[in-house]
Structure 1
């Protein structure tokens, strides 16, 4: 049985108890194995009692907005300093666009343009694709996949609340799956 094939369903009974049904599918064979046919109560971290995740649950907060009039060279220095592949362009916490490493490759390097002679506003992607912080994770994943984007701006009342990157999603779900596998292993599931 593969650890990645474990599915755990939770139903909240009270603040202290969760009804838990552990199911597993052996991905090698077409048969379905039910690990537990009985129900039981389990005290778990309440972080996972609400199984619907929203943008606010995984977004990076306190994102810096930079002025689009600075040079692409200065923008690249900010990206390097922050160790991130993007800068958000705007004013007074109102996002107007985004510049990613792809914009540098596609709009500057491939055209042999001097990055100190072009502004971020000239190469930014705009209009932005954005969602409010109460957007469910399923909608976010579908939107990012459908548009082929790796970064999604979170905006509330026309102000920047945060950003979600594909890396943030992978990190969150990696930790989530690890936690679920740990819970399942307590019941003899490997």
Structure 2
């Protein structure tokens, strides 16, 4: 019997991450400098604590008053309740999660530690490999 392909087979393992204590303006610069729309937020030992997205960063403008830009830490603005998946999840179940949610990527967490990230594009690559 053929083994079902799992998330670990297609996920990105080298990730750019943010610290929850980082100044939010540094976090925004980090996203812009690296040309990414969001990044996982982890502790020093890679415990996943949230995600900072472009949408989260826009809250600075929404919270500002009288042309004053708000400040704070990444933890103050990040999304804390993040859907995560294990690396041994089969890609078919993972595809179902993407179909039910608006996320473009999902953090992969094993034993509370961030081990990777899988995107919709990664799953497209899996489909392409299966049909070739």
Structure 1 length as normaliser, TM-score? 0.59
Match of 1:156 in 2: 110
**Is the 2:10–2:126 contact (alpha carbons within 8 Å) kept by the matching residues of 1?**
no
* Distance change (3 Å), C-alpha of 1:133 and 1:174: closer
- How many Å separate the matches in 2 of 1:72 and 1:168? 29
Of structures 1 and 2, the one with the larger relative CO (CA 8 A, separation 6+) is: 2
Structure 2 runs not aligned, ≥5 long: none
Q: Does 1:98 align with 2:51?
A: yes
Structure 2 length as normaliser, TM-score? 0.81
Question: How far apart are 1:167 and its partner, in Å?
Answer: 3.2
Question: How far apart are 1:169 and its partner, in Å?
Answer: 2.7
Q: Deviations over 1:78-115 (max 9, x none)?
A: 1123222112112111110001112223x223444626
* Count of residues in correspondence between the two structures: 128
* Moved segments of 4+, more than 6 Å: none
Q: Name whichever structure is richer in strand by fraction.
A: 1
Q: Does 1:88 align with 2:40?
A: yes
RMSD after superposition: 2.3
Larger radius of gyration: 1
**Is the 2:20–2:75 contact (alpha carbons within 8 Å) kept by the matching residues of 1?**
yes
